[in-house]
Amino acid sequence: MFQNLYMTKKLGRNELCWCGSGIKYKRCHIDREHQPLVNPYEIEKEQKKFFTKKYCIFPDKSKCDGQIVRAHTIQRNGSLDKIAYDGHVYQLKPSLTDLFKTNGEAAPKSVGIRNATTFTGFCNFHDSEIFKPLERVSFLGNDEQCFLLAFRAVARELYTKRAAIQSIPLWRESDRGKDILSQQIIQEICSAYKKGTERGLATLESHFNEYVEKFIAKDFREIRFLIILLKNVPEIMFSGGFYPEFNFKAELLQDLSDLTKKSDLLTHSSFASDEGGAIVYSWLSSSDNTCRNFVESLLELNANDLPNAVVRLSFEQSENVAISPLWWDSMESAKQEAIINRFTYAGHPLVGRSPECLASDGLNYVNWNIQDIKVKMI
């Protein structure tokens, strides 16, 4: 892996640097070990700028009104109010600073509902116009609403992934003042991360474009969904998109390492409705192969495990989860730990996902009262 080790010693000043930056050695890694160490908190502060960048993600900018808003990813602004305590929810979204305090494990953090689960990726016009049928009308679970839930989840994933790619060069700078082997390890990790993220980004851009095309054509027929309607408000609310790898029966659905294939994308959303709450899984027919099987395996679970499976999946696959502080604080510590472990190590780049990642862990996290289940798979 570190075959460059020898090279660094005899690289000419004007040769391209071993790290792959495309810059001459004399302007890149030469004498880097003698430079002052970089403060990781500084990097984190810089990195945050990419994740709070203000721009409208909608490709056709002709109608953008220029003002970028904090776009909510959880349906209807009132949703988070219902699980907030003193205007705050918990999120397992650790910053580097937090991770140092907790030895690398994620810990719930109190976040004001204005800042929780929002992103600055839509202008005022597009945010309000596109999502009107979600925000201004009760949730009926029609094609358009399920489409828009998916569209918003994919838009946010894309926004986040773009920011992740843009912040890699920052991490490449974090090897200043370190010995040459450490420099090489850091650069190798950054390269591997970049390769994986770039591939993920290309796939996501292509999914997003598909949603945009269908949105512009107002063609919502290709949307597929599973809606779980609850009589109660769900204690966790989330919005996200992911590539299902294993189903609830631990069967492999798609090989995410196959670079020649565009992975199938599933989205999931949870929010409060007029009657209680709803969990929605939605996807486009082009992702049928994987998503149908995945959702069917969820439906095959017994009624007692179904709500817990939803909880397991949400922490396994999304970092955009708002948690009711009252629910979390009253939960037994074994359950809290199970969730934190799941969140911290899910799909870890060095470990990967276990086929059994969604199988029952025997823990009862929630007592939801399911009112109805609606499915549209063709």
- Which amino acid does the sequence have at 238? F
Residue closest to 110 by CA, chosen among 93, 90, 94: 90
Could you say whether residue 29 binds Zn ion (CB under 5 A)?
A: yes
Could you say whether residue 185 binds Zn ion (CB under 5 A)?
A: no
- Which span (115-123, 128-136, 292-300, 315-323) binds Zn ion, by CB under 5 A? 115-123
- Which amino acid does the sequence have at 303? A
Considering the complex, state which of residue 194 and residue 342 has its C-beta at the smaller distance from Zn ion.
194
Could you say whether residue 168 binds Zn ion (CB under 5 A)?
A: no
Q: How far is the CB of 55 from Zn ion (least distance, A)?
A: 9
Could you say whether residue 180 binds Zn ion (CB under 5 A)?
A: no
Could you say whether residue 311 binds Zn ion (CB under 5 A)?
A: no
Could you say whether residue 56 binds Zn ion (CB under 5 A)?
A: yes
Considering the complex, state which of residue 19 and residue 310 has its C-beta at the smaller distance from Zn ion.
19
Could you say whether residue 126 binds Zn ion (CB under 5 A)?
A: yes
Considering the complex, state which of residue 59 and residue 112 has its C-beta at the smaller distance from Zn ion.
59
Q: How far is the CB of 28 from Zn ion (least distance, A)?
A: 3
Question: How many angstroms separate the CA atoms of 316 and 326, rounded?
Answer: 21
- Which span (17-25, 80-88, 144-152, 160-168) binds Zn ion, by CB under 5 A? 17-25
Could you say whether residue 21 binds Zn ion (CB under 5 A)?
A: yes
- Candidate list 16, 28, 346, 370; residue touching Zn ion; CB under 5 A: 28
Q: How far is the CB of 216 from Zn ion (least distance, A)?
A: 13
Could you say whether residue 312 binds Zn ion (CB under 5 A)?
A: no
- Candidate list 38, 43, 64, 99; residue touching Zn ion; CB under 5 A: 64
Could you say whether residue 83 binds Zn ion (CB under 5 A)?
A: no
Q: How far is CA 199 from the centre of its chain?
A: 15
Q: How far is the CB of 57 from Zn ion (least distance, A)?
A: 8
Residue closest to 346 by CA, chosen among 36, 354, 275, 120: 354
Could you say whether residue 58 binds Zn ion (CB under 5 A)?
A: yes
Residue ranges binding Zn ion (CB under 5 A): 17, 19, 21, 28-29, 56, 58, 64, 123, 126
